[in-house]
């Protein structure tokens, strides 16, 4: 893989060098160089036909450009072609074949200067002669900028023309359009060519012609310059010699090659189909006629139209035609060459007879039972019959109108909305129509109680709805004709509204359809918004009386005006009733003088419910009284005047105060709820305190830390609830707006001043208390014993100090003090939160020889104490001391190897436990030990690294070599003693004992295994092939084979013993061989045996050290075999 990487890394620079080498050999070209092109107007040329050659090369633009080198090459000939510069880097000339004088291009391109070349083009027309059919002329342009030739080829050959017709069948008197494609006729590619002599003949066979007879000869005109497509047409109208099934043959005579080609069309006739788009029509419909008549498709290039083909008329049920005769309908082909035509007409309902307005879209008179008929007289149908009428019919339907009103009962002053539904009157679906205009001419009329009849202006609700609406107003004065007429009525009477339907669904004309309404009063209702009010609050008064709902589309207002001794009640600007006493009056038990109430507003359009919040006079009442509101209804359901009253008690209420919690955490908001109906001044608004009525604060919050307290604003939860809420945030730091300062364990006191208690009592204070949350903190040290000089990690767990859950907080040094026996004054320590919102705080100090900063003086044998003064515990106790303690002393190290015996190829691990060297709990520290062997008493130095931060356990490794010790390889041999030595300079007896040697020993050798040989299961094998056998044969030698594995780390000499027993347990054969199995290897041993008789045998395999030392090296391995 490394070699592949090296090769790959060489490939890119090498490729770049090769590319740059090739580029160095290329010529440097101008940036604008581009290969020119040769374009021919045709790839074929024949006698007297010109082919235009155009050379286009962006390198040859501009008036000073030199002409390109252009040659024509054919056979063995070559000719230089003069070209001139046309526009945009194009150069042109022409070639022509034949011996005649060359045709000049009629419309050559202007030259680059914009000059016409018509009279200067002769030198650029080149004759090519001596050609035979199939010869190729190669046009060669040498592009000097590219140093290359650009070629294009034109072949000298004639082309047999082709002919086609615009259709294969043609109606009588139609126009036939012919297309001939023949490049040989395209003599001049600069213009549309035409033939000088007729080239096309039209022949007809059929009818009076028993054989094909020529009816005309036609010249051809090219469809455009250089298209090779030529057109001609012939109209049969003035040559009425074709009949149904006549064959029209069109022949094109091609002069080169000399040939004729032909196309045929069959003269046919179709039977027309006519239809209406509906079976039943209504007044607002526009009927569509569809005529399918290919015989009228006389020209495939034009959408044809006429008013002479189709007529429409309306008939009585007996078939009698309406007066005025049928109307002609303009029919227009749906598109070119479709043979399908459409036209339309409209309707107007008349009383008895119809009439016709003739135009492109005529209107025909109809009535409820009219039959609509359309007719087309087909001049010639498929069977050859002539002037055959093709018809279709439909019915016309009228409707009986329906008149309704928005209510059945009305009171004087109210508006009546009248609705007429009559689709017959929806005569134009694109506009909103009237049922007669002006209002006096309306088809909807009403007669008042004064016998005066007026019309109601009825307007269609929208385009094409057939629904019409208008209004009238009920008055007790004279009936007056207006667009919204006033109609006089008396209470208890009826008014009849009449719609004159011009024609009903059963044919009745000017039929009266009526709707009656009743004019009478409705008994009103007086209400107060509540059954109980507090003094000094606003009162909601309400009047419900549909008689006062004069306009269903307007929110109206009730006002009372006193004129002299008369009280006038107005709805909007309309005076609806007059009284001798106030019709709207508010008073109480003691306040009998009361007050006139005015300005009640309707709750919504057409509700008849009027309300007002009355605030001007309520201060005249007091607790214990009864409040009354009076409304005098001028016309109740019986038409009489009736006084209506509502009442409510007046009393004050003792407020209630609640808090959303009993315990709050710092930075939480205290949410306070006060229920006090006395504070609900305005039932139509959300009140608050302080407010316009009571400008002083009623709610105050105090804490142990801030006994002065803070005022809190109260806001009503919604209109007219009498429930108020406020909130304030508790903080540990200095309080800002909307906040109050606390300490953990503080008591919070909330007080509401209720100025009007139940029964008219005096001011009382309602109070609730809560606590500021505090929890039990704890302090701990990371060890129970520290060595002098070690670092001490202090941990305080106290959720109370997690002040900001979005930031890392601190415990100030003033709250944590650490001291020792050597320095009882100690030091103050600031702790930092371990993470955002953890509530766990840590700091590290060092046990040093002197106190300074975060160093605390400590000596062997000292005690260490750290005290955290908690602000408050869970029980609310303040300044609670939390302590953690540890001892300061040296400890004697211990050391060990990971094994007692090592092989030479193994790695040894030393582990030293030395707390005195774990000086920094945040670092993995290290120590050095000396390791020696019997072979190398000087030994090597091995660095031991702390297994992790703050463990005090150090570990390191080394290996063995039979050579000289080097680095972490120690010279050793089998049988050597390995010794590790570490000098502990601070044992636990320090300073009595100033140092102590700590040692660990191991040996080099092999691990003793009682039975190091693992014997596999004996198997039978062929001595010739070594293949396994499933059974033995009498008289045939087999190999008794067993795998012997040495599991020890030393080579093992052994005896391989095989014993064979028969089914009775008698030994019939025994043999052995000796050998050596290398350490940790597996060898296969085998002994030959020739069975003498058939039967079942047990094979037993043993491994012994030797005959002299018959120690078993393995367990006995057995198997059973069969001999046949």
Beta bridge partners of 630: 585, 645
Fold exhibited by the domain 162-267: Immunoglobulin-like (2.60.40)
Which residue in 390, 249, 403 sits closest to 331, CA to CA? 390
Range in 63-72, 401-410, 547-556 with the lowest mean pLDDT: 547-556
**Contact yes or no for 678/759 (Cβ under 8 A):** no
pLDDT at 10 over 50: no
* pLDDT tens by residue, 850-869: 999 999 999 998 999 999 99
Q: Is 124 left (phi over 0), alpha (psi -120 to 50) or beta?
A: alpha
Residue 137: other Cβ atoms inside 10 A: 22
Model pLDDT, residue 200: 93
**CA 58, CA 642: separation in Å to the nearest integer?**
106
Residues 6+ apart with CB under 8 A from 293: 270, 272, 273, 309, 339, 340, 341, 376, 378
Nearest to 600 by CA among 614, 610, 608: 610
DSSP secondary-structure letter at 441? Answer: G
H or E segment and range at residue 19? helix 2-25
- Among residues 794, 799, 768, the alpha carbon closest in space to that of 874 is found at 799
C-alpha distances out from residue 386 to 169, 203, 380, 382, Å: 19, 25, 4, 9
Alpha-carbon dihedral angle through residues 801, 804, 809, 811, given to the nearest 10 degrees: -20
Say if residue 78 is exposed, middle or buried (CB neighbours under 10 Å; 0-12, 13-18, 19+): exposed
Supply the pLDDT for residue 324.
Answer: 67
Please say whether the beta carbons of 272 and 292 come within 8 A: yes
The three-state secondary structure class of 17 is helix
Strand pairing report for 363-366 and 356-357: antiparallel
User: How far apart (Å, rounded) are the C-alpha atoms in residues 974 and 1050?
Assistant: 11
CA 897/CA 1001 separation, integer angstroms: 7
The confidence band for 8, taking pLDDT boundaries of 50, 70 and 90, is very low
Q: Please tell me the distance from the alpha carbon of residue 774 to that of residue 712, in angstroms, as a whole number.
A: 25
Angstrom distance (rounded) from CA 391 to CA 298: 22
> Lowest-pLDDT range, 14-18, 403-407, 513-517?
14-18
Residue 376: which of 271, 280, 277 has the closest Cα? 271
Distance CA 295, CA 386 (A): 13
563-593: pLDDT as tens digits: 999 999 999 988 888 999 999 999 999 899 9
Structural contact between residues 361 and 330, judged by C-beta atoms closer than 8 angstroms:
yes
Distance, CA of 911 to chain centre: 63
462: how many CB neighbours lie within 10 A of its CB? Answer: 9
Mean of pLDDT values over 754-758:
88
656 vs 327 pLDDT, higher one: 656
Same fold, 402-519 and 656-772: yes
Find, among 627, 596, 633, the residue nearest to 528 by Cα.
627
Rounded Cα distance, 786 and 890, in Å: 8
| Confidence check: pLDDT of 23 > 50 | no
Residue 814: phi, psi to the nearest 5? -65, -20
Least confident range of 303-317, 919-933, 1018-1032? 303-317
Lowest-confidence segment of 123-127, 216-220, 290-294, 436-440 by average pLDDT: 436-440
> Strands, DSSP E only, in 339-452?
340-349, 356-357, 363-366, 371-380, 386-396, 402-405, 409-410, 415-421, 444-447
Band of residue 54 on the pLDDT scale cut at 50, 70, 90: very high
Confidence grade of residue 148 (pLDDT, cut at 50, 70, 90): very high
Pairing of strands 1067-1077, 1082-1089: unpaired
Smallest Cα–Cα separation from 494: which of 516, 509, 473, 523?
A: 516
Question: In angstroms, what CA-CA distances link 145 with 68, 88, 460?
Answer: 11, 18, 82
875 pLDDT band (50/70/90 cuts)?
Answer: confident
What whole-number distance in Å separates Cα of residue 485 and Cα of residue 415? 10
Three-state DSSP state, 888 = strand
SS3 state of residue 14: helix
- Indicate if the pLDDT at residue 4 is higher than 60: no
What's the confidence (pLDDT) of residue 617?
62
Q: Which positions ≥6 away from 102 have C-beta within 8 Å? A: 48, 50, 96, 125, 127
> Which residues, in sequence order, are bridge partners of residue 273?
292
Helix %, strand %, coil % for the chain, to 5? 5, 50, 45
CB 774 within 8 A of CB 666: no
Q: Which of 31-35, 59-63, 385-389 is modeled with the greatest confidence? A: 385-389
pLDDT tens figures, 795-827 = 999 988 888 888 999 999 999 999 999 999 999
pLDDT tens-digit profile of 479-488? 999 989 999 9
List, in order, residues 6 or more apart from 320 with CB less than 8 Å away: none
Residue 550 has pLDDT above 90, yes or no: no
Q: What are the domain boundaries of the chain?
A: 37-156, 162-267, 273-396, 402-519, 525-614+628-646, 656-772, 778-888, 894-1004, 1013-1123
Q: How much is the pLDDT for 351?
A: 59
What pLDDT, in 10s, does the model give residues 357-411?
666 788 888 888 889 999 999 999 999 899 999 999 999 999 999 999 999 988 8
Q: Which CATH architecture has domain 273-396?
A: Sandwich (2.60)
The confidence score (pLDDT) of residue 62 equals: 83
Chain centre to alpha carbon of residue 29:
54
Residue 275: is its pLDDT beyond 60? yes
| DSSP tag of 616 | S
Q: What is the pLDDT of residue 113?
A: 81
CATH 3.50.50.60 fits 1013-1123, yes or no: no
pLDDT at position 119 is: 81
What pLDDT is stored for residue 1 in this prediction?
32
- Count Cβ neighbours within 10 Å for each residue of 497-532 and write b for 16 or more, e otherwise: bbbbbbbbeeeeeeeebebebebbbbbbebbbbbee
Contact 972, 933 (CB under 8 A): yes
Contact between residue 683 and residue 540 where contact means Cβ atoms under 8 Å apart: yes
Q: Are 984 and 998 in contact (CB under 8 A)?
A: yes
Preceding omega of 257 cis (within 30 degrees of 0): yes
How far is Cα 953 from Cα 945, in angstroms, rounded to an integer? 8
| Superfamily of domain covering 402-519 | Macroglobulin (MG2) domain (2.60.40.1930)
Residue 410 · residue 418 · CB < 8 Å:
no
The arithmetic mean of pLDDT across residues 1098-1116, rounded, is 93
The answer to whether the Cα torsion of 719, 722, 723, 728 is positive or negative is positive
pLDDT reported for residue 28? 33
Is the domain covering 37-156 a CATH 1.10.3470 domain? no
| Mean pLDDT within 673-687 | 93
CA angle 47, 52, 57 (to 5 degrees): 150
What is the distance between the alpha carbons of residues 52 and 96, in angstroms, rounded to a whole number? Answer: 9
Three-state DSSP class for 303?
Answer: coil
Give residue 21's pLDDT: 32
Helix (H/G/I), strand (E/B), else coil: 800 = helix
DSSP for 672-704, please give it. EEEE-GGG---TTS--EES-SS--S--EEEEES
Distance between CA atoms of 456 and 441, rounded to whole angstroms?
Answer: 9
For the chain, give the percent of residues with pLDDT over 90: 69
Q: Does domain 894-1004 have CATH number 2.60.40.1930?
A: yes
Q: What is the pLDDT of residue 25?
A: 30
- Mean pLDDT score of the chain: 89
Report the candidate in 132, 45, 53 with the shortest Cα–Cα distance to residue 97. 45
Per-residue pLDDT band at 754 (split at 50, 70, 90): very high
Q: Is the pLDDT of residue 9 over 50?
A: no
| pTM score | 0.49
Q: What is the pLDDT of residues 216-261, one digit of tens each?
A: 999 999 999 999 999 999 998 866 566 788 899 999 999 888 999 9
Buried residues in 1045-1070 as b, exposed as e (16+ CB within 10 A): ebbbbbebebbbbbbbbeeeeeeebe
Whether 19 has a pLDDT exceeding 50, the answer reads no
Mean pLDDT for 68-92 is: 92
Q: Model confidence over 207-220: pLDDT tens digits?
A: 777 888 888 999 99
CATH of segment(s) 656-772? 2.60.40
Looking at residues 723-752, what average pLDDT do you find?
94
Question: CA 213, 218, 223, 225 torsion: positive or negative?
Answer: positive
The whole-angstrom distance between residue 198's C-alpha and the CA centroid of its chain comes to 70
* pLDDT category of residue 759 using cuts at 50, 70 and 90: confident
In 3D, which of 976, 1037, 1019 has the Cα closest to residue 1117? 1019
CATH 2.60.40 fits 778-888, yes or no: yes
């Amino acid at each position: 893989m490394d070699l592949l990487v090296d090769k790959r890394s060489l490939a890119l620079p090498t490729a770049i060098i090769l590319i740059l080498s090739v580029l160095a050999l290329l010529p440097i070209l101008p940036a604008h160089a581009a290969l020119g092109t040769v374009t021919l107007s045709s790839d074929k040329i024949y006698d007297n036909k010109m082919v235009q050659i155009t050379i286009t090369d962006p390198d040859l633009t501009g008036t000073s450009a030199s002409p390109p080198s252009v040659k024509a090459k054919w056979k063995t000939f070559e000719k230089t072609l003069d070209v001139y510069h046309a526009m945009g880097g194009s150069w042109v000339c022409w070639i022509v074949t034949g011996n005649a004088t060359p045709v000049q291009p009629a419309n050559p391109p202007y030259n680059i200067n914009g000059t016409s070349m018509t009279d200067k083009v002769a030198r650029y027309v080149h004759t090519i002669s001596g050609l035979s059919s199939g010869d190729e002329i190669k046009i060669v342009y040498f592009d000097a900028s590219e140093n290359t030739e650009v070629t294009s080829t034109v072949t000298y050959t004639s082309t047999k023309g082709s002919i086609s017709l615009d259709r294969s069948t043609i109606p009588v008197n139609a126009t036939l359009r012919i297309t001939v494609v023949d490049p040989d006729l395209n003599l001049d590619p600069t213009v549309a060519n035409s033939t000088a002599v007729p080239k096309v003949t039209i022949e007809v066979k059929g009818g009076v012609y028993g054989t094909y007879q020529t009816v005309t000869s036609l010249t051809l005109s090219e469809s455009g310059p250089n298209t090779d497509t030529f057109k001609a047409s012939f109209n049969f109208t003035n040559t009425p010699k074709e009949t149904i099934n006549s064959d029209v043959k069109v022949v094109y005579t091609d002069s080169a090659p000399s040939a004729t080609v032909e196309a045929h069309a069959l003269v046919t006739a179709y039977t027309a189909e006519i239809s209406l788009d509906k079976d039943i029509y209504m007044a607002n419909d526009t009927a569509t006629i569809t005529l399918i008549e290919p015989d009228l498709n006389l020209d495939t290039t034009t959408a044809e139209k006429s008013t002479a083909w189709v007529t429409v008329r309306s008939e009585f049920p007996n078939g009698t035609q309406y007066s005025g005769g049928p109307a002609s309908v303009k029919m227009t082909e749906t598109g070119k060459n479709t043979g399908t035509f459409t036209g339309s007409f409209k309707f107007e309902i008349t009383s008895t007879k119809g009439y016709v307005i003739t135009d492109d879209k005529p209107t025909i008179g109809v009535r409820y039972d009219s039959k609509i008929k359309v007719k087309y007289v087909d001049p010639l149908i498929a069977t050859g019959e002539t002037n055959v009428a093709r018809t279709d019919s439909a019915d016309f339907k009228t409707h009986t109108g329906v008149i309704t009103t928005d209510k059945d009962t009305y009171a004087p002053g109210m508006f009546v909305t009248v609705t007429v539904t009559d689709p017959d009157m929806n005569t134009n679906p694109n506009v909103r129509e009237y049922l007669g205009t002006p209002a006096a001419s309306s088809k909807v009329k009403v007669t008042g109680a004064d016998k005066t009849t007026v019309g109601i202006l009825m307007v269609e609700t929208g385009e094409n709805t057939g629904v019409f609406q208008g209004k009238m107003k009920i008055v007790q004065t004279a009936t007056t004709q207006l667009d919204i007429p006033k109609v006089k009525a008396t209470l208890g009477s009826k008014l009849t509204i009449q719609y004159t339907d011009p024609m009903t669904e059963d044919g009745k004309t000017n039929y009266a359809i009526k709707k009656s309404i009743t004019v009478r009063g409705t008994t009103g209702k007086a209400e107060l918004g509540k059954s109980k009010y507090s003094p000094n609050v606003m009162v909601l008064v309400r009047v419900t009386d549909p008689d006062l709902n004069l306009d269903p589309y307007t929110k109206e207002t009730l006002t009372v005006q006193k004129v002299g001794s008369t009280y006038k009640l107005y709805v909007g600007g309309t005076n609806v009733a007059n009284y001798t006493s106030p019709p709207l009056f508010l008073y109480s038990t003691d306040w009998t003088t009361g007050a006139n109430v005015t300005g009640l507003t309707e709750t919504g359009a057409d509700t008849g419910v009027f309300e007002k919040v009355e605030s001007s006079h309520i201060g005249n009442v007091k607790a214990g009284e009864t409040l009354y509101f009076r409304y005098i209804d001028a016309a109740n359901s019986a038409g009489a005047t009736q006084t209506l009253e509502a009442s409510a008690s007046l009393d004050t209420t003792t407020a209630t105060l609640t808090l959303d919690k009993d315990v709050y955490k710092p930075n939480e908001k205290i949410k306070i709820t006060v229920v006090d109906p006395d504070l609900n001044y305005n039932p139509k608004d959300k009140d608050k305190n302080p407010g316009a009525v009571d400008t002083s604060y009623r709610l105050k919050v105090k804490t142990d830390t801030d006994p002065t307290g803070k005022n809190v604003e109260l806001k009503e939860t919604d209109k007219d609830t009498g429930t108020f809420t406020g909130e304030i945030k508790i903080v540990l730091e200095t309080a800002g707006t909307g906040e109050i300062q606390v300490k953990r364990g503080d008591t919070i006191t909330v007080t509401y001043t209720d100025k009007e208690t139940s029964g008219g009592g005096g001011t009382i204070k309602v109070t609730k208390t809560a606590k500021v949350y505090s929890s039990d903190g704890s302090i701990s040290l990371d060890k129970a014993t520290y060595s002098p000089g070690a670092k001490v990690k202090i941990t305080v767990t106290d959720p109370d100090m997690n002040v900001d859950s979005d930031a890392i907080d601190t415990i100030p040094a003033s709250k944590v003090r650490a001291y020792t026996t050597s320095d009882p004054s100690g030091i103050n320590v600031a702790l930092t939160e371990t993470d955002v919102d953890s509530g766990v705080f840590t700091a590290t100090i060092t046990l040093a020889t002197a106190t300074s900063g975060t160093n605390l003086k400590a000596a062997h044998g000292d005690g260490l104490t750290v005290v955290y003064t908690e602000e408050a515990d869970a029980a609310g106790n303040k300044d609670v001391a939390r302590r953690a303690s540890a001892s300061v002393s040296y400890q004697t190290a211990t050391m060990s190897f990971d094994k007692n015996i090592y092989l030479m190829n193994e790695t040894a691990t030393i582990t030293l436990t030395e707390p005195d060297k774990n000086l920094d709990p945040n670092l993995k520290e290290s120590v050095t030990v000396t390791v020696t062997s019997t072979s190398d008493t000087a030994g090597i130095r091995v660095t031991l690294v702390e297994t992790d931060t703050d463990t005090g356990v150090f570990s390191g490794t080394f290996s063995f070599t039979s050579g000289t010790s080097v680095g972490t390889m120690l010279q050793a041999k089998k049988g050597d003693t390995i010794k590790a030595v570490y000098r502990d300079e601070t044992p636990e007896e320090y300073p009595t004992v100033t140092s102590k040697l700590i040692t660990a020993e191991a040996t080099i050798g092999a691990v003793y295994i009682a039975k190091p040989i693992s014997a596999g299961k004996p198997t039978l094998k062929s001595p010739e092939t070594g293949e396994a056998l499933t059974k033995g044969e009498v008289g045939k030698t087999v190999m008794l084979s067993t795998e012997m594995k040495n599991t020890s780390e030393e080579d093992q000499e052994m005896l391989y013993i095989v014993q064979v027993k028969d089914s009775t347990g008698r030994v019939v054969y025994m043999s052995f061989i000796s050998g050596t199995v290398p350490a940790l290897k597996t060898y296969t041993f085998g002994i030959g045996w020739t069975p003498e008789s058939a039967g079942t045998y047990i094979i037993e395999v043993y491994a012994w050290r030797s005959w002299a030392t018959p120690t078993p090296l393995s367990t006995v391995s057995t198997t059973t075999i069969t001999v046949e």
